[in-house]
Structure 1
Amino acid sequence: MNTTAQPPLPTNIPEYLEHLRRSLAGADPALIQDALYDAEEYLRSELAENPGKTEAEVIAQVASSYGAPEEVADIYRDTEVKVQTALRTPPSRPRRSVFGKFFGVVAEPRTYAALFYMLLSLATGVFYFTWVVTGISLSIGLAVLIIGIPFAILFFGSVRMLSLLEGRIVEVMLGERMPRRPLYSNRGKPLMARIGELFADPRNWSSMLYMLLMLPLGIVYFTIAVTLLSLSLSFILAPIMVWLGIATMGAGSGDWMYFTIENGVLFSSLGIMALPLMLVLGVLMLFGTLHVARGIGYMHGQFAKRLLVKSAQYG
């Protein structure tokens, strides 16, 4: 009879977490962060409930229920596949032609979510930028006072919560898997050690960098979205308004491809020929805008993951 030797159980919690990290190698970094948080929270709560036992005894006790690191890793991988399958929108029919791929973007729900994120990013960018600049300025200014350290601790804690919130927004709108748990904070450690970890954690600093960059990025995203949507919708609606009698046609300045609307009159150097041409250009620009939104959504999702997910998970 063939038997597979099981690896020995870890003897302490850090070793258990390291085994779990290695077992999840290649998985999504956000998934790894969630798994490590859940495992550490569970193990430390069991250790607190059994003060007379060592970490090795607690790990051996819960191995049958929670599982060894390899078993927990397999469970998380399987669960992630099921959750992502349930949350993912039904895939659209594959399109092989160039025209099908270009115009098929209109049937992708993620397209509109990415476009909405581009519009929303201006508001979130202003808020994040203001929060971080104000928090850093007050933390430095109050450093000489007794309330300086408590204020800085609260500010860094708020950055962690805001980064988690932004991660949820990114995952819902852009479809990029982000952490659903915060970084674990061991309440059993001495207070000064926990404060030191809070300030030394590079993820807090990269999260603040992300929030500062969201202001210029939000301005760029909002400007691109509004400009392209305005141009494409204007080119689509102008000929329709003329055909419906809402606007009239006038002579343009003679410049090639000259279009303008003044006081309800559409002026064009191409005369009546401009109407179908404008409509076609508007439709092409509108679909092009949707493709731009999808591309920006994908790139921003990767950017957010690099700055908001614990960097150690990428090793």
Structure 2
Amino acid sequence: MSDHSWSPRSPSEALARFLGVPFDAQTYRNLAYLLLAFPLGIAYFTVVTTGLSTGLGLLVTFAGVPIVIATLLVTLGIGSFERRLADYLLDVDVDADAGEVELAFGSVEETIGTTKRVLTAPTTWTGLLLVGLKFVYGVVAFTALVTAFAVSATLLAAPALYDAPGVTYTFGPYVIDTLREAVAGAGLGVLLVLVSLHVSNGLARFGGFLTDALLGGAARSAEVTDA
């Protein structure tokens, strides 16, 4: 994992890092990761919960067994995709072989063996946990991004709109009706954008840490236990 969180050695370096966040390409990859987290989290949660609830409800007829196994296979696929997404967008190197399960369905024996491997693979169960956490993470990330950048846009637009005919430009309980107030609001908007980008970077790094801990970490722990 590349170190994008180096510690500045002087106040000038700290200021340069703070002001330079909009010019760092990783910032926009982090934003893409956060924006994708919301639809992906909803899709993962919907598919997995629907599959498991349907399969578990039909277990008494044994028709639910293949549905449950298929859902767990989907969970493994989600984990594989999340590892690649973290690697591509966040530069988080989750072990590509971590949690990989050999799949074979050519015969009854191979199908039974695959089922056993799926049920005993640690990443099957940490993947289920990831699905639930990804849903919460996606909602939090989307809410934070929309709120931060909506407020920032409101402040940045103040100099252009504060004296528009028929417009009463307000920010919360405050009415912006002079150029000085509008410029001050725009300056606050710039500051808020910079702070929001740094917070977004931290939130994205947390997402990468979560993926590595649940998928790569689980597999490494299993390897140590087996050894």
Q: TM-score, with normalisation over the residues of structure 1?
A: 0.60
Query: 1:271 corresponds to which residue?
Result: 178
Query: 2:150 corresponds to which residue?
Result: 230
Unaligned runs of 5+ in 2: none
SS at match of 1:131: helix
Residue 161 in 1 paired to residue 73 in 2? no
Distance 1:235 1:208 in 2: 41
Q: State the AA in 1 paired with 2:114.
A: R
Query: 2:125 corresponds to which residue?
Result: 205
Distance 1:249 1:278 in 2: 20
Q: State the AA in 2 paired with 1:274.
A: E
Tell me which protein shows more helix as a share of its residues: 2
Distance 1:248 1:303, change over 3 A: same
Query: 1:285 corresponds to which residue?
Result: 192
Distance 2:193 2:23 in 1: 14
- Between 1:276-285 and 1:136-145, the stretch displaced more is 136-145
Distance 1:170 1:201, change over 3 A: same
Distance 1:155 1:296 in 2: 29
Residue 221 in 1 paired to residue 141 in 2? yes
Distance 2:128 2:73 in 1: 12
Distance 1:132 1:250, change over 3 A: closer
Distance 1:225 1:193 in 2: 45
Contact 1:115 1:294 in 2 (8 A): yes
Distance 2:103 2:134 in 1: 30
Query: 1:295 corresponds to which residue?
Result: 202
Contact 1:170 1:301 in 2 (8 A): yes
Aligned pairs for 1:132-211 (under 5 A) are: 132-181=48-97, 183-185=100-102, 187=104, 191-211=111-131
Distance 1:312 1:215 in 2: 22
SS at match of 1:97: helix
- Identity percentage of aligned residues: 25
Tell me the matched-pair count: 213
Query: Highest relative contact order (Cα 8 Å, sep 6+), 1 or 2?
Result: 2
Contact 2:86 2:208 in 1 (8 A): yes
Unaligned runs of 5+ in 1: 1-27, 29-83, 253-257
